Structure 1
Amino acid sequence: MTLQRKVVHVVVAGSIGGAERLLVDLATRPTESNAQHSVALMTSNPALRTMLTDHGIRVRDRGIVHDDPLSYLWRAFGPRDVRWLTGILQEENADIVHVHTYASHIIGVRAARRLHLPVLRTEHGIQHYTDISCSLFRNWALRHTNSIVAVSDYVRNFVALRAPFVRKHLYTIRNGVDSEYFSEHLPPSDKTPLTLALICRLEPWKGAHLLIKAVARVPGVYLKIAGDGSQRQTLEKLAISLGVHDRITFMGYQPDPRPVLASCHLAVNTSYDEPLGLSVMEALSMGRPVIAFRGGGIPEIVQNGSTGWLLDHRTTQALVIQISHLVDKQDLIARMGKTARAFIEDQGRIETMSQGYAQAYSALDSSMLP
């Protein structure tokens, strides 16, 4: 089948997170999404550029850009970058402009309006709605976006409250997991001490310090942390100060988290108001139940007592109680891991997500402005 619809994703980002991973999953599935995909990229991070090209995605690269606030303002409101992006959209014969991160919202809409192209926006989180520094022209960009896709009902409801005028264009398409890539793995041997996995960017809102403190209070439990960020050195010093640096391994950013998950009995998510939790879904797909706080979009994918455990209080003590209860319950963990895998196969496959975007693209009328 020849794909007629051409989607250009506008990516203005410095880090590699859930938004960038979703983009890769979507752009590498032209059949399921019923579209040809390319990326107009503005990044300061060579690793992001490499990740996209290594997956065979067509990338139109602006070159090295800066992440400071003044550079953002010039990029969003100045003439040069929007002129470059407009040219890329023309050269790619774009039918739809798909924007993903806060830094892409204004410039993406500006370029699309010059060419009378529809804009689809994926809301991967809510932070730019709560940060006053992101408020400049936020509503203008929203009003000139044709369709808004939230990655969870939690994000959709939050956006609807903050910007009720977009409700009629607001939908939920949950992130999906490549269930073949993140295939089910047998848990570690019964002789292996209870080992936890934490896979996330090491930023304050991710709450990794709570888990480190909890591990320090539960003897014999080990923790593997896969991720990097501004808090890494602080967290490493915390582990040393608590005397648990021999039980906690900081592995840095892992482009492939599967070996980490395969070597652990279960995963933990300590985020505050996680929009959805792609790393959580990847853990579930591999048959690893998840301990997480009850908040954000997490309850949409972690079923308490079935595929994991939801904690009502975001405290170290809550983690200590739950982890202590599981130290000698590896059979229970394994059984719940099978239920976790079944949940992904039923509700969390990437094919379902891609088909949802195919429908969202199809609903856009490229002949109309918002």
Structure 2
Amino acid sequence: MKVMHFHFGKDGGAERFFVHLLNGLAEHGVQQKIVIRPDRAWKNNIHSSVEVIESHFRTASLDRFLLPLRVNALIRHWKPNSVLGWMPKGAKLVPGNPKPHRLVRLGDYPTTLKKFRNIDTVVCNTPGIASHVRAMGWMRGVEVISNFTDMERVAPFSRSAMNTPEDAFVISSMGRFVPRKGFDVLIQALAERPKAYLWLIGNGEQEGNLRALAEQLGVDDRVRFAGWQKDPRPFIAASDCFAMASSHEPLGNVVLEAWAQHVPVVSTRSEGPTWFMRDGDNGLMVDIGDHQAFAREIGRVQDDVEMSRKLVASGLRTLEQQFSADAVVRAYMALFAAHP
């Protein structure tokens, strides 16, 4: 089986899943070629059998015109079973040649279907995205295949290296520092948890604003900015609670990663978590933007060790039953095989 992928994402949860899937397919004997941006930090994590082609695919560049020609020639010669564009930008490179099965994989809600004119099947990672695509008028194939994460537990990162007391209650969170991720809400919640520390893993345009807010609220001595991490798992593993405050989160890979490290989760009722989390069972859930509710539910995790253990155990069951690597990889392979 041969599959070609086009992925022009940068660095984040979607890219980590992309690598997980490439490696899972490779371990099942699938031959793969991928087109990605140059110098991706995660490139070296990709299975050695995967052929990597690097391209900017920028609007104003010679590569913009030459890459589609190169890709079409490669497809004619290599004859893949399927061609998979990741996100709308990747879908734009999927050729009109009808012989391979042409797919796009979506991890967010598209605003238009115009980039999918050459696509046979849309693969969505949540039922909500699938319903949204159908409501927009998509009449061709739609499949729902979700994500999985690495279940390996890792050694926790050193708290002393993060200038954090060993006996402190540590809240971790992760993502791009943009408004929709709600890190400001967590800093506000921290102000109501005087014995807790907050580790923020990531970077982005809002970092200066977040630092200023922490100083304004008098919690800057308990907020740690870890920066972007190639492997964030040790930081999550070193925490006592993971908090996700997003106002818009189609799935929430970070929740899966926290569960895999046996860390209890407090999350907003955004789209993805509302699908797979059950309040009081595998996590605690709060309304979007409610920093007081975050402070309260984080306090419950801090004060009730037995409840926290139950949240983790149920989260692990959800991972195994709903987000298993074997099931997801086999679902993709079945989809590719259905269109020889």
TM-score, normalised relative to structure 2 = 0.88
Deviates more, 1:279-288 or 1:157-166: 157-166
SS of match in other structure, 2:68: helix
* Equivalent residue number for residue 148 of structure 1: 122
Matching of residues 90-105 of structure 1 within 5 Å = 90-105=76-91
Q: 1:280 aligns with which of 255, 276, 279?
A: 255
* Equivalent residue number for residue 289 of structure 1: 264
Paired residues of 1:174 and 1:353 also in contact (CA < 8 A): yes
Q: In structure 2, how many angstroms separate the alpha carbons of the residues matched to 1:32 and 1:157?
A: 32
* Equivalent residue number for residue 158 of structure 1: 132
Aligned CA distance change for structure 1 residues 256 and 273 (closer, same or farther; 3 Å): same
SS of match in other structure, 1:170: strand
Within the alignment, does 1:23 sit opposite 2:15 as a pair? no
Q: In structure 1, how many angstroms separate the alpha carbons of the residues matched to 2:177 and 2:318?
A: 28
Unaligned regions of 5+ residues in structure 2, if any?
Answer: 160-165
Q: In structure 2, how many angstroms separate the alpha carbons of the residues matched to 1:33 and 1:153?
A: 26
Matching of residues 79-90 of structure 1 within 5 Å = 79-90=65-76
Q: In structure 2, how many angstroms separate the alpha carbons of the residues matched to 1:143 and 1:212?
A: 43
Residue identity in the other structure for 2:168: P
State the aligned residue count: 332
Within the alignment, does 1:237 sit opposite 2:212 as a pair? yes
Could you tell me how far 1:232 is from its partner in structure 2?
1.8
Could you tell me how far 1:143 is from its partner in structure 2?
4.2
Paired residues of 1:34 and 1:358 also in contact (CA < 8 A): no
* Equivalent residue number for residue 53 of structure 2: 61
Residue identity in the other structure for 1:314: G
Paired residues of 1:19 and 1:101 also in contact (CA < 8 A): no
Q: In structure 2, how many angstroms separate the alpha carbons of the residues matched to 1:270 and 1:313?
A: 7
Within the alignment, does 1:309 sit opposite 2:284 as a pair? yes
Unaligned regions of 5+ residues in structure 1, if any?
Answer: 130-134, 366-370
Q: In structure 2, how many angstroms separate the alpha carbons of the residues matched to 1:90 and 1:227?
A: 41
Could you tell me how far 1:224 is from its partner in structure 2?
0.8
* Equivalent residue number for residue 43 of structure 2: 52
Residue identity in the other structure for 1:175: N
Q: In structure 2, how many angstroms separate the alpha carbons of the residues matched to 1:324 and 1:343?
A: 24
* Equivalent residue number for residue 298 of structure 1: 273
Could you tell me how far 1:255 is from its partner in structure 2?
1.4
Paired residues of 1:224 and 1:248 also in contact (CA < 8 A): yes
SS of match in other structure, 1:210: helix
Q: Render the CA deviation track for 1:228-251: whole Å, top value 9, x for unaligned.
A: 122222212221222211111110
Q: In structure 1, how many angstroms separate the alpha carbons of the residues matched to 2:202 and 2:258?
A: 15
SS of match in other structure, 2:195: coil
SS of match in other structure, 1:16: coil
How big is the alpha-carbon RMSD for the aligned residues of Structure 1 and Structure 2?
2.6
Paired residues of 1:183 and 1:285 also in contact (CA < 8 A): no
Aligned CA distance change for structure 1 residues 86 and 62 (closer, same or farther; 3 Å): farther
SS of match in other structure, 1:79: helix
Residue identity in the other structure for 1:28: N
Q: Render the CA deviation track for 1:296-335: whole Å, top value 9, x for unaligned.
A: 1112332211111111343222212322333322332133
Within the alignment, does 1:117 sit opposite 2:100 as a pair? yes
* Equivalent residue number for residue 368 of structure 1: none
SS of match in other structure, 2:93: helix
* Equivalent residue number for residue 12 of structure 1: 8
Paired residues of 1:33 and 1:357 also in contact (CA < 8 A): no
Q: In structure 2, how many angstroms separate the alpha carbons of the residues matched to 1:184 and 1:334?
A: 19
Paired residues of 1:284 and 1:341 also in contact (CA < 8 A): yes
Q: In structure 2, how many angstroms separate the alpha carbons of the residues matched to 1:217 and 1:86?
A: 57
Residue identity in the other structure for 2:91: H
Residue identity in the other structure for 1:18: G
Paired residues of 1:156 and 1:171 also in contact (CA < 8 A): yes
Deviates more, 1:329-338 or 1:214-223: 329-338
Matching of residues 140-289 of structure 1 within 5 Å = 141-166=115-140, 169-179=141-151, 181-182=152-153, 192-289=167-264
Residue identity in the other structure for 1:24: V
* Equivalent residue number for residue 132 of structure 1: none
Could you tell me how far 1:355 is from its partner in structure 2?
0.9
Q: In structure 2, how many angstroms separate the alpha carbons of the residues matched to 1:105 and 1:64?
A: 15
Paired residues of 1:200 and 1:226 also in contact (CA < 8 A): yes
TM-score, normalised relative to structure 1 = 0.81
Q: Render the CA deviation track for 1:152-173: whole Å, top value 9, x for unaligned.
A: 112112222123424xx11111
Aligned CA distance change for structure 1 residues 215 and 227 (closer, same or farther; 3 Å): same
Paired residues of 1:286 and 1:341 also in contact (CA < 8 A): no
* Equivalent residue number for residue 71 of structure 1: 60
